[in-house]
Structure 1
Amino acid sequence: MNRNIDRLIEIMAALRNPETGCPWDVKQNFETIAPYTIEEAYEVADAIQRGDMADLKDELGDLLLQVVFHARMAEESGDFAFNDVAGAIAEKMIRRHPHVFGDESAETPEAVKVSWEDTKARERAAKGQDESALDGVATALPALIRAEKLSKRAARVGFEWPTVDMVFRDIEEEIEEIQHEIRVDGGPDRLEDEVGDLLFCVANLARFVGVDPEKALRSTNDKFNRRFRAVEASFKQEGRALKDCSLDEMDARWDAVKRTEKQV
């Protein structure tokens, strides 16, 4: 295993060689590579969702390459190398699992989560980063994930409605504000602001009832994709294109596809 890791590191070093390497790889920096890193992480998640283990192996390799790429650029600038990355995460895992590697106990997954967050809070405090309950929530996260994490952090210190009905009240208020902006033609900036408020409240509702909002929306995206394609296919069988069909016709086919799915 170590030989394979060493070989991958050597390949990346060769690709980054200014004189004999790949022009594309040599030109890259942390900022230009970051989007690929995010993309590879999502492709890993996609392979897992599809249950494709062969593809998962390939996608994990692609993600590992991103780690090696970033580590190589950091080594070139004299900041750290791949071995430092591996060592740092190993130490972190030991530090954040005192119930495994230390004297503490945590008998349930919930207790582990509490211990994990407590350890993270101490780490942030040691770095001078614990001035706010929201410290440590990365700004580069997808907006829906970040919304859920921000509301979770706020709830941890008591900034939380006591009942789900009050969360629904927030959602209803935000919908009314959007409707108001539409009526008075408040402009795109006001609408964007109010729609953002509504999405944040919905993410908070998902967290409140124990649903992962990102996973839920991803599932709904897949469902919409599947049903829409089925509607398209049903009209194509009749030699018709969607643009030539009425909304009532498309809506009826959509309902038919939904009924078929529920019967399966």
Structure 2
Amino acid sequence: MDTRPDDGRRGEGLLELLEVMDRLRSPGGCPWDAEQTHASLAPYAVEEAYELAEAIEHGTQADVVDELGDVLLQVVFHARVGQDGPDPFDIDDVARGIVAKLRRRHPHVFDGLAVTGASEVESNWDAIKGAEKPHRTGPLDGIPHGMPPLERATKVASRLDRAGLLPDSVPTDSLGDRMLALVLDARRAGKDPSAELRDALHRLERDATTTT
């Protein structure tokens, strides 16, 4: 599905997307797009991320490409909104910021640091991130409270595991405790509980549809 020009140049499609977004937000463009804010667009970012995850798990390559486009639109849209804010920024600021972060957090690629494997890369990443954000003193700092509970529980389990603090077991006195225990078990087994649940739900929906 390679749609690049014959000369192999990359990025022309991104530039075209920026031009389209600029026209939509400019005078004479789309009234709806023009009145959007970061806050009004935030729910779409969450929705599009879930749709991408579903396409990856159950869709075709064309579905994945389509949903990636919707996610990319969210980045471009927010960057264009940022140009009109009191402290303006644009897509280049966004791109340069993530480029700088990737270079900092991959010293084994860009600075010649020797590593023995992926686990050491992950440890270095955590150490570099900790130095960048010294105000975060605990392993759970920075996890958004607004995440859906299952995804947040998965993130908490991951952080505790990487810090060597994942408990061997938790009380199972309530339904919530039992659900949390399953999340911790999934972490130990290297499974994503959200993906596992989505897959099980997909089978349930499929079976219900075929039996009606």
Shift of 1:157: 3.8
> C-alpha distance in 1, partners of 2:55/2:114?
35
1:29 corresponds in structure 2 to: 37
1:107 corresponds in structure 2 to: 116
Task: Map residues 1-264 of structure 1 onto 2, 5 A cutoff.
Answer: 1-17=10-26, 19-77=27-85, 78-125=87-134, 128=135, 130-162=136-168, 167=169, 170-171=171-172, 173-174=173-174, 195-232=175-212
Deviations 1:42-74 (A, max 9, x none): 222222223511222222111111100000111
> C-alpha distance in 2, partners of 1:200/1:109?
27
Q: Is the 8 A contact 2:21 2:77 kept in 1?
A: yes
- For the pair shown, the structure with the greater C-alpha radius of gyration is 1
Taking a change above 3 Å as real, the CA distance of residues 156 and 45 of structure 1, as seen in their structure-2 partners, is: closer
SS in structure 2 opposite 1:170? coil
Shift of 1:7: 2.1
> C-alpha distance in 1, partners of 2:97/2:115?
23
> C-alpha distance in 1, partners of 2:20/2:104?
32
> C-alpha distance in 1, partners of 2:164/2:181?
17
Q: Is the 8 A contact 2:82 2:90 kept in 1?
A: yes
> C-alpha distance in 2, partners of 1:119/1:37?
27
Shift of 1:146: 1.0
> C-alpha distance in 2, partners of 1:32/1:196?
32
What is the identity, as a one-letter code, of the residue corresponding to 1:35?
A: P
What is the identity, as a one-letter code, of the residue corresponding to 2:71?
A: L
What is the identity, as a one-letter code, of the residue corresponding to 1:214?
A: S
- What is the RMSD of the two structures over their aligned residues, measured on CA atoms? 2.0
Q: Is the 8 A contact 2:171 2:177 kept in 1?
A: no
Aligned residues: 202
Shift of 1:138: 2.2
> C-alpha distance in 2, partners of 1:200/1:31?
31
2:3 corresponds in structure 1 to: none
Deviations 1:58-98 (A, max 9, x none): 22111111100000111111331100111111111111111
Q: Is the 8 A contact 1:124 1:136 kept in 2?
A: no
Shift of 1:217: 0.8
Gaps of 5+ in 2: 1-9
Taking a change above 3 Å as real, the CA distance of residues 157 and 65 of structure 1, as seen in their structure-2 partners, is: closer
Taking a change above 3 Å as real, the CA distance of residues 132 and 223 of structure 1, as seen in their structure-2 partners, is: same
